[in-house]
């Protein structure tokens, strides 16, 4: 299963960082693989808030609906499922002397017969994750 964990220090306060990063409608601002992102509900972010993303990888566009599956003041988990893929992104914040340490933990799981492509997906995922990490560092600085 492809798995990437990134931790980034920022001077921004924890609540601001978690609110911004959990609102996946901002994903195109920090992840160059996200072509579009739209929130499909309104009001404050909460468990069951959902976002429709289109992710471009290897020349293909993949629509994903991410749903907030857990949320508290320090951590959020967003999950997307298709018939062939599950993506679980856990975002967490921890206060530190100079602001916040933000951690992004992303796990992809291929489902069914597509599992044989896991090694290829892992290589592609690491490349995409490195670009997203650079975008997150830029947005949180």
- pLDDT confidence band for 107 (50 / 70 / 90): very high
Distance CA 55, CA 77 (A): 18
Name the more confident of 59 and 113. 59
Task: Dump pLDDT digits (tens) for 31-40.
Answer: 999 999 999 9
Q: Percent of the chain beyond pLDDT 90?
A: 72
Name the more confident of 104 and 127. 104
Distance CA 108, CA 88 (A): 7
What's the pTM value of the predicted model, to 2 decimals?
0.89
Look at strands 50-57 and 75-81 and give their pairing: unpaired
Distance CA 42, CA 114 (A): 35
- pLDDT confidence band for 116 (50 / 70 / 90): low
Task: State the pLDDT at residue 123.
Answer: 56
Residue ranges and CATH numbers for the domains of the chain are 3-140 (3.30.530.20)
Q: How many helices (H) does the chain have, and how many strands (E)?
A: 3, 7
61 φψ region: left (φ > 0), alpha (ψ -120 to 50), beta (else): beta
Tokens representing 76 are: 């959020």
């Amino acid at each position: 299963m492809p798995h990437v964990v990134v931790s980034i220090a920022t001077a921004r306060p924890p609540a601001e960082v978690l609110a911004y990063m959990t609102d996946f409608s901002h994903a195109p601002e920090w992840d160059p693989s996200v072509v579009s992102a739209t929130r499909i509900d309104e009001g404050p972010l909460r468990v069951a808030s959902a976002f429709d993303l289109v992710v471009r990888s290897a020349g293909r566009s993949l629509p994903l609906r991410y749903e907030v599956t857990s949320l508290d003041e320090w951590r959020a988990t967003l999950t997307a499922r298709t018939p062939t893929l599950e993506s679980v992104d856990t975002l967490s914040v921890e206060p530190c002397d100079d602001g916040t340490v933000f951690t992004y933990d992303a796990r992809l799981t291929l489902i069914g017969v597509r599992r044989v492509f896991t090694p290829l997906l892992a290589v592609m995922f690491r490349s995409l994750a490195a670009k997203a990490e650079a975008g997150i560092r830029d947005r949180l600085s």
